[in-house]
Structure 1
Amino acid sequence: MLKVTENKYFTGQTSNIFSAEVAKETRAFHQQIEGYAPTPLVSLPELAKRLGVKSILVKDESKRFGLNAFKVLGGSYALGRQLAEHLNVDISEIDLKTVSSKLEKPLVFATATAGNHGTGVAWAAREMGQKAVVYMPKGSPEASVKRIRGLGAECIVTDVNYDDTVRLASQTADENGWMLVQDTAWEGYEKIPTWISQGYMTMADEAVEQLEEQPTHVLLQAGVGAMAGGVLGYLVDKLGAESFKAIIAEPAAADCIFRSGQEGEMVNVSGDLSSIMAGLACGEPNPVTWPVLRDCSHTFTSVEDKVAATGMRILGNPLKGDEAVTSGESGAICMGLLYLLLKDDTNKASADQMGLNEDSVVLLFSTEGDTNPDRYRRIVWESEYAL
């Protein structure tokens, strides 16, 4: 149900591309978007008492721009940077509502997605008066397809897994002269994924501003590691690498970061990568953010789907006095992991090794709400994927 490995390659090395200074620019871009507001940082004091830690804080990204997920932060910032570069102006001059008037004709942005990233790109393209073509891997939920099409984008479901869908999107974009907006990187394609991960730092910058006490532990979920690496890079620069312990969580079916953490170098995972955590079902680490995860993570974990499902139920059905958080499968993995570490005696040695105790201030990011409403109800109401 749960695999844990301590990071033997920790150095605490900061990154100049994921820093507090860069985060100021990304947040300034997001702040000028109509409807911007920091998402809530929810405190769960009763759950903290139950689990034996000082406090548990959950950043609730279901409130982000009405899109039910954090991914729009990366997609919008990358589109803004691409358009700024295309127009040869500074990013500060890009206004979503007026940028289309500076172009002779709309540009086409292409991407591959498990759902939330594509939604963010589609939304940002629509807001900027541009076009989007979104590719999704086989088995993608119809709810995600409808949501993306509802934002005016073309959405194509492939018959291959996520990583092969990324390759298809890249090839098609090259053939058609479209701009690829992908949240993972490879040799020769690193600039745009870097912008996307930098965009995610807005979420972390808000959280630090909202904190009343510095966290001792930060739990971050990883697919390719774009969000985890960007957020961790910012936090290390802002708070100090030795001031908290970063714990990375992944689905067991696609635990490329976990395996990479064991080896100290990037390891790919192939196959169907089937998991209810669709947004994390990625088998190839992002080389832009991998160095941050290698250098600054304390622990890597690999968990079964039922752990994320447990996290969804805990957040959605809180103890009396705590606030409910609607968290989807990819959003709730870290809450499920925290619960398992602290309530299952078989994991006590792992919890002790991580330093989780009555003095711990734990920060988590619920990165999505109920983006697949039918499955959310089946898991939370009908106990699918029970422990």
Structure 2
Amino acid sequence: MTLNKINIASLKGKTKADVGFLNRDVAEKVKGFHSSFPQYKETPLVELKNLSKKLGIKNMFVKDESHRFELNAFKVLGASFAIGNYISNKIGVDISELPYSKMISKEVKEKLGDTTFVTATDGNHGRGLAWTANQLGQKSKVFMPRGTAAERVENIRRENSDVDVYDANYDECVRMANEYANAHNGVMVQDTSWEGYEDIPRWIMQGYMTMANEAYEQLSRLGEKPTHIFLQAGVGSLASAVTGFFANVYSDDLPTIVIVEPDKANCVYKTAKADDGQLHNVTGDMDTIMAGLACGEVVTIGWPILSSYASYFLSVDEMYAAHGMRVLGNPEKGDNRVISGESGAVTSGVISKLMADEDLKDIREEIGLDENSVVLAFSTEGDTDNKMYREIVWDGRYPSY
């Protein structure tokens, strides 16, 4: 299957969604919270000069989130900031006055009491939530869908979490987790939003801005500004958060935003393609190798941002993720290696194939990728399923042809 795309430029005349809650001031506040954790350090922005030359673009940068908090993925940014906001609201202290050192104090623990944070996950979000709860001396309960890699389950279990895999898909696990939280006085921490449940998903989106803010600062130090930003989407929270952040910092000079999804779980693409004002969900197993993107229901608070500021929505075959993993893991001479998992590498795989495959020339030209393009992508995870990583990178599973 080749790439599917939709140009939503016809939406440009419409009122833009409010992205004030994703502005630079909020991003700095979020980064201040994250940087209070002893494990915090800025993750690398990898400049792939030689790959760019080979592909025929001016430059390409990949934000490598495999180094985030030693958890091999970016998701902890959203989970930790949401939990931090919940605690700060519960005890009546602004989060700017509640760094990690105070959050783990006896005084805060006594005010908060014992709390169980509940979520559904394909792996990375649940690990980030369990890690945060464990760091703060709290409990977590995690629901995982059928087909989840054993390594991802064990990583969560190591954080003293009550975690199980259920005979259900991701969206069904979300509903199960919410029912559990309601029945057991737990706190649901999910980036999927629905009517009456929007504050925590909004905090999660704000948490993701640390990644975008770091990338913006790193690019600024290099004197670079992207012409294109490629973002992967599951429910669309990450894509919405990063799009909203860059819509704020670049304003009317916003780069071309391209959203990428697996064709087995392409709810954002289907919603964009329909262009009827309705959210279009995907049901069933959604058995894509891009486990972190295997989500069938669009985040309600994020879609208005994507429909306002994103330009293209691509639905892609599994091969693009596998190709991206091999490209990043086997760099051109002089470029740094990026170990990227299936969900993390798909955007890089798409960029590479768009430039190298003449069958995709029309899409490349429509998006405007050429020798003047400076491209930013986010590798959102490392080898979080090492067995799958080796099957793809070592053994050639899902060949690039």
For the 8 Å contact 2:17–2:304, the answer to whether it is kept is no
Matches within 5 A, 1:249-268: 249-264=260-275, 265=277, 266-268=279-281
- Which of the residues 342, 345, 348 maps onto 1:332? 345
Tell me the equivalent position of 2:109.
Answer: 103
Question: Aligned residue pairs: how many?
Answer: 387
Which runs of no fewer than 5 residues in structure 1 stay unpaired? Answer: none
1:184, 1:203 → 2: CA distance? 19
Q: Report Cα offsets for 1:90-135 as digits up to 9, x if no partner.
A: 1022233442422333211000001000010011111111111111
Task: State the TM-score, normalized to the length of structure 2.
Answer: 0.95
1:79 aligns to 2:56 (yes or no): no
2:102, 2:160 → 1: CA distance? 18
Pairwise CA RMSD: 1.1
Tell me the equivalent position of 2:34.
Answer: 30
1:235, 1:113 → 2: CA distance? 27
C-alpha displacement of 1:13: 4.7
1:13, 1:35 → 2: CA distance? 35
The residue type paired with residue 85 of structure 1 is N
1:133 aligns to 2:141 (yes or no): yes
C-alpha displacement of 1:152: 1.2
Matches within 5 A, 1:183-222: 183-211=191-219, 212=222, 213-222=224-233
Tell me the equivalent position of 1:9.
Answer: 11
C-alpha displacement of 1:14: 5.0
* Sequence identity percentage: 46
Tell me the equivalent position of 2:186.
Answer: 178
1:115, 1:203 → 2: CA distance? 19
Q: Report Cα offsets for 1:47-100 as digits up to 9, x if no partner.
A: 101111000000000000100000000000000000001111110222334424
1:300, 1:240 → 2: CA distance? 21
Q: Report Cα offsets for 1:235-260 as digits up to 9, x if no partner.
A: 01001244310000000000000011
Tell me the equivalent position of 1:316.
Answer: 329
1:326, 1:14 → 2: CA distance? 35
For the 8 Å contact 2:246–2:254, the answer to whether it is kept is no
| Secondary structure of the corresponding residue to residue 344 of structure 2 | coil
Divergent runs of 4+, >4 A? 11-14
Tell me the equivalent position of 2:126.
Answer: 118
| Secondary structure of the corresponding residue to residue 382 of structure 1 | coil
The residue type paired with residue 80 of structure 1 is G
For the 8 Å contact 2:181–2:188, the answer to whether it is kept is yes
Q: Which moved more, 1:128-137 or 1:3-12?
A: 3-12
Tell me the equivalent position of 1:94.
Answer: 98
Which runs of no fewer than 5 residues in structure 2 stay unpaired? Answer: none
2:310, 2:252 → 1: CA distance? 9
Task: State the TM-score, normalized to the length of structure 1.
Answer: 0.98
| Secondary structure of the corresponding residue to residue 343 of structure 2 | coil
Tell me the equivalent position of 2:283.
Answer: 270
| Secondary structure of the corresponding residue to residue 253 of structure 1 | coil
2:97, 2:165 → 1: CA distance? 35
1:9, 1:250 → 2: CA distance? 21
